[in-house]
Amino acid sequence: MTPAAEAVTVPPERGTLAQIAISLVRDRVSLFFSVMLVAIVLMAIFADQIAPYDPIAQSLLSINLPPSAEHWLGTDQFGRDVLSRIIYGARTSLLLGVIAPALAAVIGTVFGVTAGYFGGWIDRVIGRLLDIFLAFPALLLGILIAAALGAGFWNMVLVLTIAFAPRFARIARASTMSIRSEAFIEAAIASGVRTPAIMLHHILPNIAGSIVVVLTLWIATAVRLEATLSFLGLGTQPPKASWGNIIRDGLGNLFGSPWPIVAAGLAITVTVLAFNMLGDAVRDILDPEATDE
One of 17, 60, 61, 190 touching other proteins (CB under 8 A): 190
Q: Does 193 bind other proteins (CB under 8 A)?
A: yes
Q: Does 17 bind other proteins (CB under 8 A)?
A: no
Q: Does 1 bind other proteins (CB under 8 A)?
A: yes
Instruction: Decide if 93 contacts 242 (C-beta within 8 A).
Output: yes
One of 30, 64, 114, 206 touching other proteins (CB under 8 A): 206
Of the two residues 8 and 148, which places its CB atom closer to other proteins in the complex?
Answer: 8
One of 7, 60, 61, 69 touching other proteins (CB under 8 A): 7
Of the two residues 2 and 49, which places its CB atom closer to other proteins in the complex?
Answer: 2
The least CB distance from residue 1 to other proteins, in Å, is: 7
One of 17, 60, 183, 252 touching other proteins (CB under 8 A): 183
**C-alpha span between 63 and 67 (Å, rounded):** 12
Beta pairing partners, 75: 81
Among the residue ranges 22-30, 85-93, 199-207, 224-232, the one whose residues contact other proteins (CB under 8 A)? 199-207
Whole-Å CA distances, 79 to 12, 152, 207:
57, 24, 50
Q: Does 4 bind other proteins (CB under 8 A)?
A: yes
Cα R_g (the chain), whole angstroms:
23
Sorted by sequence, the CB contacts under 8 Å of residue 108 that are 6+ apart come out as 164, 165, 166, 167, 168, 169, 170, 171, 172
Of the two residues 48 and 293, which places its CB atom closer to other proteins in the complex?
Answer: 293
The least CB distance from residue 13 to other proteins, in Å, is: 8
**C-alpha span between 163 and 106 (Å, rounded):** 13
At 3, which amino acid appears?
Answer: P
Closest CA to 33 of 281, 238, 293, 252: 281
Of the two residues 1 and 148, which places its CB atom closer to other proteins in the complex?
Answer: 1
One of 128, 205, 252, 255 touching other proteins (CB under 8 A): 205
Collapsing DSSP states into helix, strand and coil, what is residue 264?
Answer: helix
Cα dihedral sign, 93-47-266-78: positive
Q: Does 6 bind other proteins (CB under 8 A)?
A: yes
One of 3, 15, 120, 252 touching other proteins (CB under 8 A): 3
∠ CA 170-94-147, rounded to 5°: 70
Of the two residues 27 and 289, which places its CB atom closer to other proteins in the complex?
Answer: 289
At 207, which amino acid appears?
Answer: I
Instruction: Decide if 229 contacts 142 (C-beta within 8 A).
Output: yes
The least CB distance from residue 14 to other proteins, in Å, is: 13
One of 202, 224, 240, 248 touching other proteins (CB under 8 A): 202
Collapsing DSSP states into helix, strand and coil, what is residue 180?
Answer: helix
Of the two residues 48 and 292, which places its CB atom closer to other proteins in the complex?
Answer: 292
Residues that bind other proteins (CB under 8 A): 1-10, 12-13, 182-184, 186-194, 197, 201-202, 205-206, 208, 289-292
